[in-house]
Copies of this chain bind each other. A is one copy, B any other.
Amino acid sequence: MDARVKFDLVAWSGERLERVERALSDWVVADAPAGLGEAMRYAVLDGGKRLRPLLVLAACEAVDGNEEAALRAACAVELIHAYSLVHDDMPCMDNDVLRRGKPTVHVKYGQAQALLAGDALQALAFELLAPDGDAVPQAVQAALCRLLARAAGHAGMAGGQAIDLASVGCTLGESQLREMHRRKTGALLQASVMMGAACGATDAAARAGLAAYGAALGLAFQVVDDILDVTADSETLGKTVGKDAAHDKPTYVSLLGLERSSAFARELLSQALAALACAGLADTRALHALAIMVVDREK
């Protein structure tokens, strides 16, 4: 009998989500001046699937890595994700008023505070990765900063958002759409996996396997996101649906249609699981289950 069948992702996630929520609440301080801390906490706490933190922790466990480093990395990558949503929702970008079922940060606190809160969340992400003391080895701190900075910047998330901006109203080919998503959402999801791995020792085969797993999972996530934007309702999703079409944005659904998009997501899942199996790691059950969850999710 396959041990994977018995792996309980809900129980595994539950314990880890508690740790992540507690750490985020401790580290995203309320006492930042002039309402800034309140806006930062609003943007981060009490919401979100925390997929990226779970990927960090699962990858760290697969390589038997440093737990303190992984918890910091898990929170840091979530802060980058949260800041990107705050800025992305602003009127000059997607102009969205609803996120995780609540008013967006700029609606609640004003645009200036939203801009600053996003900026401060990005800085805090890197601050978390480089603590005083030796609970996290200096080499791990440096590796985590390197991975996160690359994934967040022009070669990753910010670059993908620039392509997204420029592509409104355009017809993109499959390779251009893939390139946009690889940067915009894929880079940070893949970095979550690699940051978890950087908390422990890995050989080249493990790193290559995890990188391929992360790349396939990252793209699968976006394909499913495109599907849900068409098929889900706002209440389930906690954000405005149909906004890709409303903004005339190219998506996998507009390119391939619903059925072929679904098939593509399942093909990417197979690729992710195959790469994971080749990584030569002892216990990859959580990473395995998370990939399935990404493709099967309904929000």
Contact A142 B138 (CB under 8 A): yes
Where chain A touches its partner, the secondary structure class is helix
- Which chain B residues border A186 with CB–CB below 8 Å? none
Chain A positions 73-117 with a Cβ under 8 Å from a chain B Cβ: 83-84, 87, 90, 92-93, 110-113, 115-116
Interface membership of chain A positions 21-47, coded 1 if the CB is closer than 8 angstroms to chain B and 0 otherwise:
000000001001111110010000000
CB distance from A261 to the nearest CB of B (A): 24
A165: Cβ under 8 A from any B Cβ: yes
CA distance A92 to B112 in the complex (A): 5
Which residue from B29, B155, B162 sits with its C-beta under 8 Å from A34? B162
A132 closest partner in B (C-beta)? B146
A35 and B145 contact, Cβ closer than 8 Å, known pairs A87-B119, A154-B123: no
CA distance A130 to B152 in the complex (A): 14
A161: Cβ under 8 A from any B Cβ: yes
A207: Cβ under 8 A from any B Cβ: no
5 A/B residue pairs, CB under 8 Å, sorted by A: A33-B183, A34-B165, A120-B153, A126-B145, A142-B142
Interface membership of chain A positions 134-175, coded 1 if the CB is closer than 8 angstroms to chain B and 0 otherwise:
000011011101101110111110111111011100000000
Contact B149 A123 (CB under 8 A): yes
CB distance from A39 to the nearest CB of B (A): 8
- Which chain B residues border A162 with CB–CB below 8 Å? 32-36, 113, 116, 120
